[in-house]
């Protein structure tokens, strides 16, 4: 796992931050803000282009986030534009920035003191600041969305992927001077810029170095010089004058956005945590959302537990899997904090999560996690004594500590957030079991088991283990997993539990009801929701066996027969599914010879998908952690916006991945 190295910074006589790594200032000693406005905003003619565009969003990409000055300045300018032209089609701004060496928080705060006009934005950024791993983190600033890609730009830029070809409107080509940072200023950068830039998209930069000018021209940009800022004689700006069709590296994995009209009419099928976050991300984009839930009450199935743990899944050998959950955890923290700020009530406690090395196998897993050298704010290996002090009860083993982990009430969160969303336009239809979908000319026909029909141009399937009940999704390799969570009364010792503890199961601290959640059984290919005395007893036996040498576990008592049964949706490779619903039969026809087509470098079609039909599923037992980011990715995809995830992870999420893996190897796939 690649951690991100923070910048080594000092402040010069003019109180301008200076990078020790590059021996260069972050912005002009003369007036960094004026420089930013002149070089980047005027160089890209943003104000004029914002007035002229008919698009709903505008995308800026930047090399070198630094102190965030360019971001603050353009966000403020965009807010001025929205106030001046409230009826303009352009509503939202996306700012994608790459940063190899982020400033430590203390230095970031010092740098921000120079620009009191941005105090509110700066404080929000400081609040979001974190110890990142390499990859993309999304942050929301009202109408502006910031995607910060931490790590080497030459590694991260290609991870925008095939999807982002021809989608960027303007580039702020910033960063330290070419003479100081030659690793960034190279032909690969210019070629990737050209690939991602829209026709008539632009760039601007403070430098006029001939190597930079030639590199941009060779990539395809039309480059012009203009007067430089301050003491600099010249600087460069340019345009991608002609459209082009870039090579798609993985057409079998390419996602496609929806064909939308203003105030898009979107249906979501499902009533759990995936649905609520999807509805939230969609209405933030101006969608008209209608929810169809088969139950009388929302969050009646897998999202209906009284307590659920919120923490990243780290114990796996696939680093892409771990990276996804780390990024999802960071984004989920934002979303839950947003809900708290909105006054949405749900019981929760940011108490931390303890991972117990209760046997040899779990000790090996935790040793692997420790070897990743994750930031201590994310994960710390602790001794038996230190871990026991964290949880408030003695433990018989060493383990790991996730300080920012938490528990919350999924049922309360889903139900109360949907109540909030209903006040903001989401239409909720309960007791509507959608059993069939039929594609018509410009919309989908939704049919219920009672014979009623509804029509919507765009449909999102988020109905858990029933996702495969439609003819369009029956080939997906999803299966139900039954889970029974025991609800046990507290006791003299159990009430001392201060954190979620995980072993071959989990136990939560005491809720307001003076009960704990003890879980959970895991029965694959089982969708029976009746109470099981055997599973109740097994939940108790697991904690008393795994943590046998401490006496407080003997107070765990499941004999009250209080439990909740939910059916999760799972997949064998354990990472969620997201995106377009693939046309299985057509993909088998198009890709039956995929292995040889690649080997011979012959033309390969883009993946066949059902138009305007999307899914979010296979969240397993990690839905609280994964759903917020998955829903944001999905909404961004539907709206043809930048995606807050690297392409290699995106490919792992693709719903066609199971049969594409086989076809890429030349293996046979049998149509169902």
**Domains of the chain and CATH, by start:** 9-239 (3.40.50.150), 251-301+412-472+573-664 (3.50.50.60), 353-403+479-571 (3.30.9.10)
Helices within 344-470 (DSSP H only): 360-371, 384-391, 410-423
Helices within 37-68 (DSSP H only): 46-52
The pLDDT value given to residue 543: 97
pLDDT band for position 670 (cuts 50, 70, 90): confident
pLDDT tens for each residue of 275-330: 999 999 999 999 999 999 999 999 998 888 999 999 999 976 788 899 999 999 99
* List of E strands, 539-633: 563-571, 577-582, 609-617
Mean pLDDT score of the chain, rounded to an integer? 94
Of 301-305, 544-548, 586-590, 627-631, the one with minimum mean pLDDT is 301-305
Cα dihedral 488→493→494→495 (10° resolution):
110
> Please, are residues 279 and 458 in contact by the beta-carbon 8 Å criterion?
no
Structure tokens at 220: 């395809």
pTM for this prediction:
0.96
Structure tokens at 297: 């009450």
Percent pLDDT > 90 in the chain is 87
pLDDT band for position 346 (cuts 50, 70, 90): very high
Average pLDDT over residues 139-144: 97
Q: Is the confidence at residue 525, as pLDDT, over 80?
A: yes
Question: How many whole angstroms separate alpha carbon 397 and alpha carbon 382?
Answer: 10
pLDDT tens for each residue of 447-495: 999 899 999 999 999 999 999 999 999 999 999 999 999 999 999 999 9
Average pLDDT over residues 488-503: 97
The pLDDT value given to residue 625: 97
Question: How many whole angstroms separate alpha carbon 594 and alpha carbon 378?
Answer: 41
pLDDT band for position 23 (cuts 50, 70, 90): low
- Tell me if residue 32 falls in helix, strand or coil: helix
The pLDDT value given to residue 445: 98
pLDDT tens for each residue of 236-284: 999 999 988 989 999 999 999 999 988 899 999 999 999 999 999 999 9
> Please, are residues 288 and 669 in contact by the beta-carbon 8 Å criterion?
no
The pLDDT value given to residue 32: 82
Q: Is the confidence at residue 615, as pLDDT, over 70?
A: yes
Within a 10 A sphere around the Cβ of 359, how many other Cβ atoms?
13
The pLDDT value given to residue 147: 98
Q: Is the confidence at residue 28, as pLDDT, over 70?
A: no
pLDDT band for position 187 (cuts 50, 70, 90): very high
Question: How many whole angstroms separate alpha carbon 578 and alpha carbon 639?
Answer: 15
Report in angstroms the alpha-carbon separations of 59 from 78, 169, 170, 257, 435: 12, 5, 7, 16, 39
Q: Is the confidence at residue 538, as pLDDT, over 90?
A: yes
The pLDDT value given to residue 29: 59
The pLDDT value given to residue 672: 64
> Please, are residues 647 and 163 in contact by the beta-carbon 8 Å criterion?
yes
Rg (CA), the chain: 26
> Please, are residues 416 and 345 in contact by the beta-carbon 8 Å criterion?
yes
């Amino acid at each position: 796992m690649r951690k991100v190295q923070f910048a080594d910074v000092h402040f010069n006589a003019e109180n301008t931050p200076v990078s020790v790594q590059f021996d260069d200032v972050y912005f002009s000693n003369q007036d960094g803000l004026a420089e930013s406005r002149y070089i980047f905003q005027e160089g890209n003619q943003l104000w004029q282009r914002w007035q002229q565009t008919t698009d709903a969003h505008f995308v800026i990409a930047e090399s070198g986030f630094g102190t965030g000055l360019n971001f603050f300045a353009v966000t403020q300018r965009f807010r001025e534009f929205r106030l001046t032209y409230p009826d303009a089609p352009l509503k939202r701004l996306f700012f994608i920035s790459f940063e190899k060496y982020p400033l430590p928080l203390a230095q970031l705060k010092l740098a921000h003191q120079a620009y009191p006009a941005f105090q509110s934005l700066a404080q929000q950024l400081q609040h979001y600041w974190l110890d990142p791993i390499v990859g993309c983190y999304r942050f929301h600033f009202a109408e502006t969305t910031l995607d910060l890609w931490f790590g080497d730009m030459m590694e991260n830029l290609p991870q925008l992927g095939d999807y982002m070809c021809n989608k960027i409107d303007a580039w702020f080509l910033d960063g330290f001077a070419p003479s100081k940072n030659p690793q960034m200023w190279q032909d690969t950068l210019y070629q990737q810029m050209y690939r991602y830039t829209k026709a008539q998209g632009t760039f601007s930069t403070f430098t006029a170095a001939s190597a930079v000018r030639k590199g941009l021209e060779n990539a395809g940009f039309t480059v012009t010089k203009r007067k430089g800022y301050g003491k600099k004689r010249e600087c460069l700006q340019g345009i991608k004058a002609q459209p082009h069709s870039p090579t798609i590296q993985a057409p079998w994995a390419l996602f496609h956005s929806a064909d939308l009209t203003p105030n898009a009419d979107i249906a979501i099928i499902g009533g759990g945590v995936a649905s609520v976050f999807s509805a939230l991300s969609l209405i933030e984009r101006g969608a008209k959302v209608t929810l169809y839930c088969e139950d009388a009450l929302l969050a009646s199935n897998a999202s209906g537990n009284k307590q659920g743990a919120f923490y990243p899944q780290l114990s796996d050998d696939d680093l892409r899997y771990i990276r996804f959950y780390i990024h999802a955890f960071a984004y989920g923290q934002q979303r839950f904090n947003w809900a708290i700020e909105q006054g949405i009530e749900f019981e929760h406690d940011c108490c931390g999560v303890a991972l117990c090395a209760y046997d040899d196998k779990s000790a090996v897993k935790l040793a692997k996690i420790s070897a990743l050298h994750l930031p201590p704010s994310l994960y710390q290996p602790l001794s038996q004594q230190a871990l026991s002090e964290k949880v408030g009860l003695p433990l018989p083993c060493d383990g790991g500590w996730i300080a920012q982990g938490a528990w919350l009430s999924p049922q309360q969160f889903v139900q109360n957030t949907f109540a909030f969303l209903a006040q903001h336009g989401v239409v909720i239809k309960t007791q509507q079991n959608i059993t069939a979908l039929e594609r018509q000319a410009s919309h989908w026909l939704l049919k219920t088991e009672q014979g009623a029909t509804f029509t919507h141009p765009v449909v999102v399937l988020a109905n858990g283990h029933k996702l495969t009940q439609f003819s369009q999704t029956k080939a997906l390799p999803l299966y139900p997993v039954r889970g029974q969570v025991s609800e046990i009364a507290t006791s003299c010792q159990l009430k001392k539990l201060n954190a979620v503890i995980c072993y071959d199961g989990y136990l939560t601290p005491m809720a307001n009801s003076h009960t704990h959640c003890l879980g959970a059984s895991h029965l694959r290919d089982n969708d029976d929701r009746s109470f099981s005395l055997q599973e109740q007893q097994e939940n108790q036996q697991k904690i008393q066996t795994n943590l046998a040498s401490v006496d407080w576990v003997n107070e765990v008592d499941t004999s009250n027969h209080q439990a909740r049964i939910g059916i999760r949706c799972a997949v064998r490779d354990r990472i969620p599914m997201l995106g377009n619903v693939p046309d299985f039969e057509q993909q088998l026809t198009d890709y039956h010879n995929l292995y040889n087509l690649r080997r011979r470098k012959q033309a390969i079609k883009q993946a066949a998908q059902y138009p305007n039909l999307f899914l979010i599923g296979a969240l397993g037992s990690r839905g609280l952690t994964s759903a917020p980011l998955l829903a944001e990715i999905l909404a961004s995809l539907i709206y043809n916006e930048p995606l807050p995830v690297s392409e290699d992870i995106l490919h792992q999420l693709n719903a066609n991945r199971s049969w594409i893996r086989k076809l890429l190897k030349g293996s046979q796939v049998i149509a169902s």
